[in-house]
Structure 1
Amino acid sequence: MTAADLARLQFAATTGIHWLFVVLTMGLVPLVAALHTRAAYTRDPARRAVRERMTRFWGQLYVINYAVGIATGLVMEFQFGLNWSGLSKYAGNVFGAPLALETLIAFFAESTFLGMWIFGWGRLRTGVHVTLIWLVALTAYASAYWIMVANGFMQHPVGHQVRDGVAYLTDFGAQLTNPSALVALGHVALGALTTGGVFVAGISAWHFARGTGEPELFRGSLRLGVWVSMLASFFVVVVGELQMPVLERTQPMKVAVLTGDGVAALQEQLVREHGPGDYVPWQDTLRISMDAMTLIGNTVSTVTLVAVILLRKDRLVRWRPLAYLMTAMIPLPFLASVAGWIVREVGRQPWLIYGELTVEDALSHVGTGALTVSCAVFIAVFLGLAVTNWTLITRFARRGPSATQLGTTDPAEPERPTVPSY
């Protein structure tokens, strides 16, 4: 493999694994916030206790994913300097600010709010405590926005001027409102909500079908997960279609490969505009990924629609194969999300910044030996973190609310109720 192949493999693998953490984080945190809000303002003590246990159970799974996943995010930006110094040199003036803001939001604001929420049980006023988890959700999506702003520039560079081979930001507003960022952000957000909804519904259905106790808790969780995933999966398809007009204007070659129409003519046109080269992305990879994302999206949308209908009188979980089908669906939104990212990133090849900077020109002067070692180490570490994360999530999900530690006090002391003080 060439140095470029190794660098691309390393970034693709680490980014893909990191995305598995991100999509679950974004999908779960609004559900946890909604559950906490509902629990906090429920007057009936018995129902409030159940809803608070729901919040703590799903909140703990969210915290596990966030805590392990944040380690995978630390190396993302370092790779720009390690393997893609040409990208930093050419466009660092443009998307350096969005990446810095994303880091500040994700690793400072979001982490701070989450820490206060975790340790605020029984110590903060109800309103303050609920506000904190909503701030966690807000900063999670704000972080995603800044990432999409940076990525949107690479997909469709706007608001800049090139002087002496270096891009300089000239219109920050154009960068913030880049349609390649905004429409994609909507697609990503809805995909994350689908992932979170299917995750909650699948685990709830498993517990409900096995009769592991607390049917009221898992009945409410199942209802929430099914409704969220049904609505989000429907709109994720709609917003996905809204990207096609944007792609036709900004990346016609990607659309040509997906539709199988006009590839040769566009190749000739790009050769005239940019010089000799192969401007056709990997066609088989692009089409297979697009087909996989579409098939999975339609499958999830259909199954969750049927599940909503079967929620009445617990029909969904009375027939165990249906309940286990909901559990088996948990990996599907993750696979669809990864396939979508492949379409987005591979579809603009050979460009790193579409129409301006190629992958080869952005590559650092690093030997294949060093890249082979770093690639193997990074992928091994990331796979280890992913296995650790899902081992912990599976363990605590199977144990159920009885094993939840989030929000509990010292076992030797009685659990203190929420008090109106700081």
Structure 2
Amino acid sequence: MGPTDLARLQFAGTTGIHWLFVILTMGLVPLVAVLHTRAARTRDPARRAVLERATRFWGQLYVINYAVGIVTGLVMEFQFGLSWSGLSAFAGNVFGAPLALETLIAFFAESTFLGMWIFGWGRLRAGVHVTLIWLVALTAYASGYWILVANGFMQHPVGYEVRDGVAHLTDFGAMLTNPSALLALGHVALAALTTGGVLVAGISAFHLARGTRETELYRLSLRLGVVVGTIASFFVIIVGDFQFPLLERTQPAKLDALEDPDAPWHGVLVTAMDGMTLIGNTVSTITLIALPLLWRDWLVRFKPLAYLMTAMIPFPFLASIGGWVFREVGRQPWLIHGELTVDEAVSHVSTGTLAVSCAAFLTVFLALAAVNWTLITRFALRGPDAVQLGTTDPLPDDDADHLRDLEAYDMKVTT
């Protein structure tokens, strides 16, 4: 393999793994926010306790995924300077701003709001606490938007001009409203919600089918997951179809490659498209069948279907990878369509250096993915009893005695 192939393999592998974290983050946090909102609004103490317990349970899975995923995002930043210096030299003036905004939102705003939400249990007013988790959700989707603005420019460059061999931004509004970015954002958002819904439904169905003391918690989680998964998986197919007229205008060669067996990357594109379509339709069909079976817990009583919901958890992730492969591979040999080829964008680095870099990056990312899913699986199987999010440890005896002394002193002073 030459330097270009190694650089592409490294970027494909690291981006694909990182995307698994992103799609779950975007899909799970709105469901956590909905549960927290319902908990804050209900006046029934018993139901509020169940909803808060559910919020902490799913919230802990979200926090695990976010914490490990943020590391993969940081590591990815090194690739642009190491392997794709030609891209930065040509288009850094254009998509440097979206990438910088994404970094500010993801690594500062989102992390700040999430930290306040994590440590706000029992310390903040209910309305403020709920607002924080919705801000986390909002910044997660804002982060995704800025990434797709940069990627949309690479798919369909708009709002720029080339001077002295370098792209310069001339219309920031055109870049922000690039249809290649906006349609992709809608598709990604619905794919994420499908992923989150299927994960919540699958874990809940597993515990209910196996038997659990947390019947009410998993029952309401199952309903939320199935409803969200059904709606999102239906519309994700529709929004996906909306992108084909745009591709006919902007990247006709991508669609031609699907029909021409002799075209480069024909096999990869067909496999990615057919796999994404088949999986998407399967998820949509199964969740639609499961929806009416929520009535009187028929879904859980028919255990094969309940376990099928659990087995379906990886499906949305696989479909998302297929969609990403189709979007990225289909525009080859262009890195920025019509302007910059992959060969022109790759750094002038030796094959040995890129081989070491590729092996190191993929090893780190695979290890992080293994850690992430090991932790998620472990805490998902243990259930709410293993939740640490939102709990507070009792004060040690010495600290408790000291606190009582301070309270007695305050009473003495005030009297």
Do Structure 1 and Structure 2 share a fold, with TM-score over 0.5?
yes
1:75 is displaced (CA, Å) by 2.1
Residue 355 of structure 1 is aligned with which of 338, 343, 347?
338
Say whether the 8 Å CA contact 1:281–1:348 is kept in structure 2.
Answer: no
Corresponding residue of 1:303: 286
Corresponding residue of 1:384: 367
Q: How does 1:11-410 map to 2 (within 5 A)?
A: 11-260=11-260, 280-410=263-393
Q: Which moved further from structure 2: 317-326 or 404-413?
A: 404-413
- Residues of 2 paired with 1:129 and 1:11: CA distance? 38
After superposition, what is the alpha-carbon deviation per residue over 1:291-330, rounded to whole angstroms, capped at 9, x for unaligned? Answer: 0000000000000000001111101010111111000000
1:250 is displaced (CA, Å) by 0.4
The DSSP-based 3-state class of the residue aligned with 2:335 is: strand
Quick one: which amino acid aligns to residue 316 of structure 2? P
- Residues of 1 paired with 2:230 and 2:137: CA distance? 21
Indicate the RMSD between aligned Cα atoms, in angstroms. Answer: 1.0
After superposition, what is the alpha-carbon deviation per residue over 1:183-220, rounded to whole angstroms, capped at 9, x for unaligned? Answer: 01100000000000000000000000011221111000
- Residues of 1 paired with 2:284 and 2:146: CA distance? 28
The DSSP-based 3-state class of the residue aligned with 2:291 is: helix
Quick one: which amino acid aligns to residue 330 of structure 1? I
TM-score (norm 1): 0.93
- Residues of 1 paired with 2:385 and 2:264: CA distance? 51
The DSSP-based 3-state class of the residue aligned with 1:311 is: helix
Say whether the 8 Å CA contact 1:281–1:347 is kept in structure 2.
Answer: no
The DSSP-based 3-state class of the residue aligned with 1:74 is: helix
- Residues of 1 paired with 2:233 and 2:22: CA distance? 18
- Residues of 1 paired with 2:207 and 2:392: CA distance? 26
The DSSP-based 3-state class of the residue aligned with 1:378 is: helix
User: Which consecutive residues of structure 2, in runs of 5 or more, have no partner in the other structure?
Assistant: 397-415
How many pairs were matched up? Answer: 396
Q: Share of identical aligned residues, percent?
A: 78
1:126 is displaced (CA, Å) by 0.7
Say whether the 8 Å CA contact 1:39–1:48 is kept in structure 2.
Answer: yes
The DSSP-based 3-state class of the residue aligned with 2:167 is: strand
- Residues of 2 paired with 1:394 and 1:370: CA distance? 36
TM-score (norm 2): 0.94
- Residues of 2 paired with 1:52 and 1:41: CA distance? 11
- Residues of 2 paired with 1:27 and 1:411: CA distance? 34
The DSSP-based 3-state class of the residue aligned with 2:390 is: coil
Say whether the 8 Å CA contact 1:51–1:217 is kept in structure 2.
Answer: yes
Say whether the 8 Å CA contact 1:151–1:181 is kept in structure 2.
Answer: yes
- Residues of 2 paired with 1:361 and 1:247: CA distance? 24
After superposition, what is the alpha-carbon deviation per residue over 1:389-414, rounded to whole angstroms, capped at 9, x for unaligned? Answer: 0000000000001111000010568x
Corresponding residue of 1:269: none
- Residues of 1 paired with 2:41 and 2:185: CA distance? 32
After superposition, what is the alpha-carbon deviation per residue over 1:56-93, rounded to whole angstroms, capped at 9, x for unaligned? Answer: 00000000000011000002222111100000000000
Q: Which moved further from structure 2: 339-348 or 74-83?
A: 74-83
1:336 is displaced (CA, Å) by 0.2
Quick one: which amino acid aligns to residue 101 of structure 2? L
Corresponding residue of 2:408: none
1:281 is displaced (CA, Å) by 4.0
The DSSP-based 3-state class of the residue aligned with 1:75 is: helix
- Residues of 2 paired with 1:240 and 1:299: CA distance? 15
- Residues of 1 paired with 2:94 and 2:74: CA distance? 21
Corresponding residue of 1:277: none
After superposition, what is the alpha-carbon deviation per residue over 1:27-74, rounded to whole angstroms, capped at 9, x for unaligned? Answer: 000000010000011100000000000000000000000001100000
After superposition, what is the alpha-carbon deviation per residue over 1:83-131, rounded to whole angstroms, capped at 9, x for unaligned? Answer: 0000000000000000000000000000000000000000011111000
- Residues of 2 paired with 1:314 and 1:285: CA distance? 42
